[in-house]
Amino acid sequence: MAEEKVEGNVIAQLVTSDGESTGPQLDLPPDLTHEQLEALLNELLTNEEKVPYAFFVNDLELTGATELSSLIQDVSVESVLKIVYHPQALFRVRPVARCSSTMKGHTEAVLSVQFSPDGRHLASGSGDTTVRLWNLNTEGPDKTCQGHKNHVLVVSFSPDGKQLVSGSMDKDVRLWCPKTGKARGLLKGHREWITSLAWEPAHLAYPSRRVASASRDTTIKVWDTATNKCEFTLSGHAKAVSCVKWSGEGLIFSSSRDTMIHVWETGEGKLIRTLKGHGHWVNTMALSTEHALRTGPYDHNSREPPEDPEEAKQIARARYDELRGGRPERMVSGSDDFTMFLWEPNEDKKHLARMTGHVQLINQVQFSPNGQWIVSASFDKSVKLWDGATGKFITSFFGHIAPVYQVAWSADSRLILSGSKDSTLKIWEVRTRKLKMDLPGHEDEVYSVDWSPNGWRVCSGSKDRCLKIWRN
């Protein structure tokens, strides 16, 4: 079939991702390119700094190489063409390309790695019962935190970057100082191992005080780290809790293996609503605002936030509000029943969308830092990309030859990192929907990956007892 060439001009309307129209209807030439449209929009919005935008016509992206006419399917002079635009990050994260160092030290598999919100510290929890802090300037070992009596399963930095919490197989949660590596406290109370940790967002409490821990003993406990006491226990699940998230609205979401997701209020720990839908274990959850919640007052430049806690809180609040953008927070959950659900758990217990496509269980889901995309890692060896607002399927990334365990986003939402059982990491580019970089090097399964919030480094922890730092 011959391509139908559009003759004459097109009447178009620029629309934000929320569906609001911007400016008047425009009479655009069909050979309009991406740069011209970007310049036009910047002019319309009277942006002082030029902001990069991505444009979509009927969910097809207008990229640098194509012209507007190639995206138009049904030519009608009378209908108005809707061009949806998404603002993109002003900065660019360069894709990591090489392994800059292999950090040895752990004597057992590395189970979790995490960068601090300012990207200056790195912590790892291992099967050798220690938490280690690494020096990112020399890329060598810095501090070893001993105390746990069994495998350290999760580590988590507080959004203000001043505390580190670790959960272990020995049923304890421990607090550490990320600067000195000294033990700050021991939170005892769970009767089974800890599966997940979540800090109270920085725009609700600064400096961070409260942390929620989910355990296999079906409860979630909320701890006050100033007094090292358990504030309250959230019990209601029938099976092990797999994941806990603290939303920006001050609610706690918990997913469990009893197929339910509970929403809790954090004043007294009352159950607000239960989200039902999954048919098997719920493994993972992600929030659309998670990037802002994780990094708190730190932006991509990892500048120190102001000393005054009120001011820092304001910054964190502004970052959170900007990312939320007028819409309620969305949450996506991935399950053993091979599906994902998109919810607005602050508002409603009905789901927005059910996302099917994977043919094996979903191990991790992640919202992109700007909330535009969702990426899911599955045991069916694929990574899939979904629309963050509607939950529509976008594309699949094939390339791994074993189950994909973890995924991470670059801070500019342009690149995806995936770590797999096949011992490699892979970098995928969202725009081209192709493999950008293959990063072999580990000698065994990659258990944990993280991209630093300032975008400079990627860290991966593996079963071969090494951490690897990857840089561009």
Partner 1 sequence: MPQGDYVELHQKRYGKRLDHEERKRKKDAREVKKKSTMAQKLIGLKGKMYAKQRYKEKVEMKRTIQQHSERNNKHKVDDNVAEGAMPAYLLDREQVARAKVLSNTIKQKRKEKAGKWEVPIPKVRPVAEDEMFKVLRSGKRKHKSWKRVITKATFVGENFTRKPPKYERFIRPTGMRMNKAHVTHPELKCTFQLQIIGIKKNPNGQMYTQLGVMTKGTIIEVNVSELGLVTPGGKVVWGKYAQVTNNPENDGCINAVLLV
Note whether 169 and 151 are within 8 A (CB). Answer: yes
Beta-bridge partners for 174: 166, 186
Residue type, 428: W
How do beta strands 362-367 and 373-378 pair?
A: antiparallel
Count Cβ atoms within 10 A of the Cβ of residue 138 and give its class: 0-12 exposed, 13-18 middle, 19 or more buried: exposed
Among 153, 187, 220, 407, the residue binding partner 1 under the rule CB under 8 A is 153
Edge-first strand order for the sheet with 404-409 is 404-409, 415-420, 425-429, 434-439
In angstroms, the Cα distances linking 169 to 26, 154, 174, 201, 283 are: 61, 9, 12, 26, 18
Note whether 18 and 372 are within 8 A (CB). Answer: no
Question: In angstroms, rounded to a whole number, what is the distance separating the alpha carbons of residues 237 and 192?
Answer: 14
What is the pattern of x (binds partner 1, CB under 8 A) and - over residues 28-67? ----------------------------------------
Nearer to partner 1, 10 or 240 (CB): 240
Rounded least distance, CB 160 to partner 1, Å: 25
Count CA within 13 A, CB hemisphere, residue 104. Answer: 3
Binding positions for partner 1, 336-395, rule CB under 8 A: 363-364
Binding status of residue 245 toward partner 1 by CB under 8 A: no
Rounded least distance, CB 65 to partner 1, Å: 30
**Which residue is associated with the tokens 């820092």?**
312
Binding status of residue 438 toward partner 1 by CB under 8 A: yes
Rounded least distance, CB 129 to partner 1, Å: 6
- Single out the segment in contact with partner 1 by CB under 8 A; choices: 6-14, 70-78, 146-154, 342-350: 146-154
Nearer to partner 1, 116 or 283 (CB): 283
Binding status of residue 150 toward partner 1 by CB under 8 A: yes
Among 61, 108, 224, 337, the residue binding partner 1 under the rule CB under 8 A is 108
Nearer to partner 1, 279 or 440 (CB): 440
**Which residue is associated with the tokens 């099917």?**
356
Among 88, 114, 124, 126, the residue binding partner 1 under the rule CB under 8 A is 126
Nearer to partner 1, 210 or 421 (CB): 421
Binding positions for partner 1, 402-421, rule CB under 8 A: 402, 405, 420-421
Three-state SS at 269: coil
Would you say how long the chain is, in residues? 472
Rounded least distance, CB 210 to partner 1, Å: 21
Binding status of residue 112 toward partner 1 by CB under 8 A: yes
The residue among 213, 279, 208 whose CA lies nearest residue 245 is 213
What is the pattern of x (binds partner 1, CB under 8 A) and - over residues 284-323? x---------------------------------------
Question: In angstroms, rounded to a whole number, what is the distance separating the alpha carbons of residues 83 and 68?
Answer: 10
Among 448, 452, 454, 460, the residue binding partner 1 under the rule CB under 8 A is 448
Q: 9: which residues sit within 8 A by CB, 6+ positions away?
A: 27, 28, 29, 30
Among 273, 445, 471, 472, the residue binding partner 1 under the rule CB under 8 A is 445
Total of chain residues touching partner 1, rule CB under 8 A: 43
Residue type, 231: E
Among 32, 68, 103, 109, the residue binding partner 1 under the rule CB under 8 A is 109
Among 151, 162, 184, 471, the residue binding partner 1 under the rule CB under 8 A is 151
Instruction: Take residue 107 and report the two structure tokens written for it.
Output: 């004597």
Rounded least distance, CB 377 to partner 1, Å: 10
Count CA within 13 A, CB hemisphere, residue 103. Answer: 27
Q: What's the chain's Rg over C-alpha atoms? A: 23
Rounded least distance, CB 216 to partner 1, Å: 8
Number of C-beta neighbours around residue 88 at 10 A: 18
Binding status of residue 173 toward partner 1 by CB under 8 A: no
- Single out the segment in contact with partner 1 by CB under 8 A; choices: 14-22, 87-95, 183-191, 437-445: 437-445
Binding status of residue 444 toward partner 1 by CB under 8 A: yes
Among 17, 116, 195, 368, the residue binding partner 1 under the rule CB under 8 A is 195
Question: In angstroms, rounded to a whole number, what is the distance separating the alpha carbons of residues 332 and 182?
Answer: 36
Nearer to partner 1, 28 or 446 (CB): 446
Among 264, 397, 447, 451, the residue binding partner 1 under the rule CB under 8 A is 447
Binding positions for partner 1, 216-235, rule CB under 8 A: 216
Q: Where are the beta strands (DSSP E) in 76-218?
A: 81-87, 98-103, 110-115, 121-126, 131-135, 140-145, 152-157, 164-168, 173-176, 183-187, 194-199, 210-215
- Single out the segment in contact with partner 1 by CB under 8 A; choices: 258-266, 290-298, 308-316, 422-430: 422-430
Which residues lie near partner 1 (CB under 8 A)? 108-109, 111-112, 126-129, 149-151, 153-154, 193-196, 216, 240, 242, 283-284, 363-364, 400-402, 405, 420-424, 438, 440-445, 447-448, 464
